[in-house]
Structure 1
Amino acid sequence: MTESDTELQQFRASVRAFCDKEIVPRMEEWEAAGTFDAHELFSKLAAQGFLGLSHDVADGGESAPMEYQRVFAEELARGNTAGISMAINVQMHMATPSLAEFGSQELKDKYLRPALEGRQVAAIAVTEPGAGSDVATLSTRARREGDDWVISGSKVYITNGTQADWFCMLVRTSDEGGYRGMSQIIVPANTPGFEVARKLDKLGNRASDTVELRLDEVRVPVSNTIGEIGRGFQQQMGQFVLERLSVCFTAVGACEWALAKTQEYIKTREVFGAPLATRQYPVFRLTELSAQLELLRALNAQMCQKFEAGENITREATIGKLTAGRLMREVADAALQYHGGMGYMEENWTSRFYRDVRLSSIGGGADEVMLQVLSRIDGYTV
């Protein structure tokens, strides 16, 4: 084992210890409440240096290699923690990357640094009631009045929405249609005209608050624009790549945990006088899923290497996202099936796991969108 491997294993142990102490024991409480105190938990994460793993030291981050983000996401996903894992990944990989890469120093000092220090909660606001996977059709608009943007419209399915201090929001800033004329703008939650219209009741991931937002003549400075005006779509596409990468990392941790729990259970569950683990079909099925998991793990390692080398990983991250979503669904289905009737009960871990992972093939780009992206990369015109 090399020195870097040793350091990575020590880091893994520290993340697992944190999760076992601060997250896993409180999951049932947070699930029942339909929320958690993000400011409290994020400040604890920041104190360990976790929130700023990928960000520059100059911005208050750790400048850690992508491998550390992979390990963090894997460990965070263990223990049936999907709702909390998603909320943290939004802060780290969905709401802050564009700000870190393209934001002015003033914006980074005001919004990025406090987010990495756990003093502010961030959210990403792209999806609208009439524009989900097809980002080009979004209609929330910002018109310019002097040095201000005046924004009106609505956003939906916004994670961390009830607690966020600010939103990285993609809006139209010109009359150009399609993918043109969009900008990313920081919108503070306390701005007049901005409101959480309603908190949404979800099938799973209940510990994570999700909302619909309404904006009525919300006025923010033009200086709150992230990067170049009119380049918001392109910047958001880059942010999506990191989001999909985090899904790939999360899937490995969640699936590894669930498969281990299921393997342990079928060794003790007796069916027709013998443990279920002596039956060929369930053993082969779990073995097959474990093999698929190893392939995803290998892809993740490859993506980390390519990312650190500055290579474009859009294709690999899209393949990984598609694979991760489907694999989590298959693992959840097998785990519930082999636990039988008990697996269908809310008191057993399999029930919540099954509900939670279904989002993996929808959020961050549905499976069909991933296939469309890949087909276009491969030269098709569908």
Structure 2
Amino acid sequence: MDFLLSEEQRVIQKTVRDFAQKEVAPSAAERDEEERFDRHLFTKMAELGLTGIPWPETYGGIGSDYLSYAIAVEELSRVCAATGVTLSAHLSLASGPIFAFGTEYQKETYLTGLAEGTKLGAYGLTEPGSGSDAAAMKTTAVKDGRHFVLNGSKVFITNGGEADIYLIFASTSLEKKQRGVSAFIVEKDFPGFTIGKKERKLGIRSSPTTEIRMNNCRVPEENVLGNVGDGFKIAMQTLDGGRNGIAAQAVGIAQGALDAAVQYAKERKQFGKPIAKMQGISFKLADMAVKVEAARLLTYQAAWRESEGLSYGNESAMSKLFASDTAMEVTTEAVQVFGGYGYMKEYPVERFMRDAKVTQLYEGTNEILRSVISKQLFPGDL
């Protein structure tokens, strides 16, 4: 069993780490405060090839793997979780299904632009009345000649309003429930497609989260992804890969908080010595480091399995569950290490703590993930 990263993966890790420190970190607090998305940063990521990490060069990618993608999300999230999730949603949620299920026309028309970063992608599954129960969606798609007419709304759309391409799930047969769900590639300029309100959030504030609405939105039939009725399967498989991205985001957040706490503990003096020399602080930091590394190993394992074409659904559920809980715990402890200063916006740990919370909520709440994992313990028995 080889735990070493390949030379290519190490190069990607260093490249993204340098980019994150030089280009992303300096404006992270300001963008968070202003709730401002910076498309220029996404363009710079595209220039580095990050927007197409796992996709073949044929479609504008760099032909790497899913572990490299996870590493990139981790390194970005180490300084700015909002930038990390921008890339995660773009790659795993919007681009991934087109690569896995798309026709050659769809890959050439949409995946290439997404991989090259000239287009930004988003994913629309959740509705006001259907979150964890995705099959209960009310958005409909009715066939009309060579088009489908979509009506309904989606909420909590990462990259919403900024994205150019949206993967939208709608019911082509409400009575069939999950077997009646279909997936559609929707361009932002399609008639009847509009952006609703922008959400104001606790964390990842420079990542836009919006509602989207479809009012008689006409989508060409060639934009159906997979077959009509395959949408629920596509959505669930996509979320498995998306969880790898969110696990990586959580690891990055936790590592960033740990980095800040270690540095502060070396510099902050109380009772005539650095607080790092106090056992209460040094042991706390040691526990934080162990949990971050455990979360990283789980995350890398799941991403490696996806890269190797092995089953990874249960592993991605475990990594996202553990990494997100770790991120919440480690960031909270980091604030504690900083004491009263940790509660102030002058230091980054309060932002890390706010950012960490959402990793326990999206791409499947941790309660849903515990349900997924527990079912694997009793196959066919319950």
The bucket for the TM-score relative to the shorter chain is over 0.9
* Letter of the structure 1 residue corresponding to residue 226 of structure 2: G
Deviations 1:311-330 (A, max 9, x none): 10111110111101100000
**Aligned twin of 1:185:** 184
2: distance between equivalents of 1:167 and 1:70?
22
Deviations 1:285-333 (A, max 9, x none): 2211211222222223322432233210111110111101100000110
1: distance between equivalents of 2:368 and 2:250?
19
* Letter of the structure 2 residue corresponding to residue 73 of structure 1: V
**Aligned twin of 2:137:** 138
**Aligned twin of 2:220:** 221
Q: Could you tell me which runs of 5 or more consecutive residues in structure 1 were left unpaired when the two chains were aligned.
A: none
Deviations 1:204-231 (A, max 9, x none): 1111111111211111111111111101
1: distance between equivalents of 2:29 and 2:300?
32
Q: Could you tell me which runs of 5 or more consecutive residues in structure 2 were left unpaired when the two chains were aligned.
A: none
Aligned runs of 1:265-284 on 2, under 5 Å? 265-284=264-283
Contact between 2:299 and 2:320, CA under 8 Å: does it hold in 1? no
CA apart distance, 1:44: 2.0
CA apart distance, 1:173: 1.1
CA apart distance, 1:335: 0.6
CA apart distance, 1:358: 0.8
Per the alignment, in what secondary structure is the counterpart of residue 283 of structure 1?
Answer: helix
1: distance between equivalents of 2:296 and 2:193?
42
2: distance between equivalents of 1:309 and 1:210?
32
2:75 maps to 1:75:
yes
Aligned runs of 1:356-375 on 2, under 5 Å? 356-375=355-374
Contact between 1:44 and 1:118, CA under 8 Å: does it hold in 2? no
Per the alignment, in what secondary structure is the counterpart of residue 23 of structure 1?
Answer: helix
* Letter of the structure 2 residue corresponding to residue 250 of structure 1: Q
CA apart distance, 1:251: 2.4
**Aligned twin of 2:23:** 22
- Which has the higher mean CA deviation after the structures are superposed, 244-253 or 359-368? 244-253
* Letter of the structure 1 residue corresponding to residue 62 of structure 2: E
2: distance between equivalents of 1:279 and 1:2?
33
1: distance between equivalents of 2:352 and 2:5?
33
Percent of matched pairs sharing the same residue: 33
* Letter of the structure 2 residue corresponding to residue 45 of structure 1: M
**Aligned twin of 2:49:** 49
2: distance between equivalents of 1:201 and 1:10?
36
- Which has the higher mean CA deviation after the structures are superposed, 176-185 or 311-320? 176-185
Per the alignment, in what secondary structure is the counterpart of residue 112 of structure 1?
Answer: helix
- Which has the higher mean CA deviation after the structures are superposed, 122-131 or 346-355? 346-355
2: distance between equivalents of 1:377 and 1:216?
41
Contact between 1:43 and 1:117, CA under 8 Å: does it hold in 2? no
* Letter of the structure 2 residue corresponding to residue 8 of structure 1: Q
1: distance between equivalents of 2:336 and 2:119?
41
2:318 maps to 1:296:
no
**Aligned twin of 2:32:** 31
Q: CA RMSD in A?
A: 2.0
Aligned runs of 1:324-335 on 2, under 5 Å? 324-335=323-334
Per the alignment, in what secondary structure is the counterpart of residue 348 of structure 1?
Answer: coil
Aligned runs of 1:1-382 on 2, under 5 Å? 5-38=6-39, 40-79=40-79, 81-379=80-378
Contact between 1:123 and 1:158, CA under 8 Å: does it hold in 2? yes
Q: Call closer, same or farther: CA 1:17–1:267 in 2, change over 3 Å.
A: closer
Q: Call closer, same or farther: CA 1:327–1:4 in 2, change over 3 Å.
A: closer
1: distance between equivalents of 2:100 and 2:65?
16
* Letter of the structure 2 residue corresponding to residue 217 of structure 1: N
* Letter of the structure 2 residue corresponding to residue 54 of structure 1: P
* Letter of the structure 2 residue corresponding to residue 153 of structure 1: G
Q: Call closer, same or farther: CA 1:371–1:229 in 2, change over 3 Å.
A: same
Per the alignment, in what secondary structure is the counterpart of residue 219 of structure 2?
Answer: strand
* Letter of the structure 1 residue corresponding to residue 60 of structure 2: G
Deviations 1:335-371 (A, max 9, x none): 1111111111122211111111110100111110101
Deviations 1:139-179 (A, max 9, x none): 11111111111111110011111111121011111133332
Q: Call closer, same or farther: CA 1:54–1:343 in 2, change over 3 Å.
A: same
CA apart distance, 1:92: 1.0
2: distance between equivalents of 1:243 and 1:191?
26
Q: Call closer, same or farther: CA 1:341–1:2 in 2, change over 3 Å.
A: closer
* Letter of the structure 1 residue corresponding to residue 177 of structure 2: G
1: distance between equivalents of 2:30 and 2:298?
35
Question: What TM-score results when the alignment is normalised by the length of structure 2?
Answer: 0.94
Contact between 2:302 and 2:319, CA under 8 Å: does it hold in 1? no
* Letter of the structure 1 residue corresponding to residue 304 of structure 2: Q
CA apart distance, 1:276: 2.3
CA apart distance, 1:283: 2.1
CA apart distance, 1:3: 11
CA apart distance, 1:11: 2.5
- Which has the higher mean CA deviation after the structures are superposed, 297-306 or 241-250? 297-306
2: distance between equivalents of 1:96 and 1:8?
21
